[in-house]
Structure 1
Amino acid sequence: MNWEVEVPNVVTEARFRELVESGYSAEILCQESAHKKGPSYYGIWIMRAVSDDGVEKTLVTARTRTTHNDIKIREFKTITGVVSFLVGIGFTHADVPLEEGQRTTHRLIEPVKGSSD
C-alpha cells in the first residue's frame, strides 16, 4: 500500500491525540519487522486513528497547505519510540506488533465521571 497517496486522511500529533481521546482507537502497524540491535529493537511502525465506523486517519509529521508532496507519514523506528508516544497520549500499556504486516489496536479507558472520593 502506498501510504503517501492516502491524503487527506492524515492528522498531526495534536489532532491524533484529540481523536484518540474522543474514542478513536490507536492502531499500530508494523511496516518492517523488528530486529534487535544492542539493547533495543528497531523496525518501522506507523500509527492510525480509527473510528468505530472504520474512518482511518494516518499520523503524519507535519501537514502543510501547499501540496500533498509535503506530507510525510510519521515513522517510528524503535519500540521505545512507539511506547513513549503511546504513554504521552495517556496509554498505560503498549502491545507492539513485531512482524511486518501485523497490527494492534489500543483504546483509552474513559475516566469514570461523577465518582466520589
Structure 2
Amino acid sequence: MAWESTDLDIATEARFRALAKSGYRIEVLCLEAAKKKGPTYYGLWVMRAVSEEGDQKRLVTARTRKTNNDIKIREFKTAAGVISFLAGLGLDCAKIPLHEGKHARHKLEPAAGVSAADDLTG
C-alpha cells in the first residue's frame, strides 16, 4: 500500500504554511526549557498544526539525499528561530513557551490576515 504524504501526521514547510492559511491552529511545544545566553534564549521547540477536528500534523524538514530521505521533525533551538518561522507564516505576534512541557497556540485568521495567540497552556 502506498502512503500519501497527506495520510501521515507530518507536513513539510510548504504544506504547514497551507494548513495555517486554511485555518489550522499552530502550536509551539517546548521540549527543553529555555536558557538565556547573552541576549538569546536557547531551548528546544517543535511545531504542529491542529485542525478544529483535532487532526494534527507535525512540522518536518525537507528530505534530501544527504539525509537519505529520512523524515525528521523540525526542531528550533533558539527563540529567534521560532519567531522568524511564525512571522514567515504571517502571524503578527509570537508566544513562545519557555518551560519544558508547555505549549502556545497561534491562529492565522484566513479572512482578515490577522493572527491571534491564545494563552500559554500546559
Matches within 5 A, 1:76-115: 76-112=76-112
Compute the displacement of 1:97 (Å).
0.4
Q: 1 CA distance for matches of 2:28 and 2:63?
A: 20
Post-superposition CA distance 1:58-98 (Å, at most 9, x none): 0000257xxxx811000000000000000001000001000
Identity among equivalent positions (%) equals: 59
What is the match of residue 61 of structure 1? 61
Aligned residues: 103
Q: 2 CA distance for matches of 1:82 and 1:20?
A: 15
Compute the displacement of 1:8 (Å).
2.2
Q: 1 CA distance for matches of 2:11 and 2:62?
A: 8
Post-superposition CA distance 1:28-63 (Å, at most 9, x none): 000000000111000000000000010000000025
Q: 2 CA distance for matches of 1:100 and 1:9?
A: 22
**Structure 1: which 5+ runs fail to align?**
1-6, 113-117
**Structure 2: which 5+ runs fail to align?**
1-6, 113-122
Q: 2 CA distance for matches of 1:14 and 1:44?
A: 22
CA RMSD of aligned residues (A): 1.8
What is the match of residue 42 of structure 1? 42
TM-score (norm 2): 0.79
Q: 2 CA distance for matches of 1:51 and 1:111?
A: 17
Q: Which has the higher contact order (CA 8 A, sep 6+)?
A: 1
More strand by share: 2
What is the match of residue 33 of structure 1? 33
Q: 1 CA distance for matches of 2:8 and 2:86?
A: 23
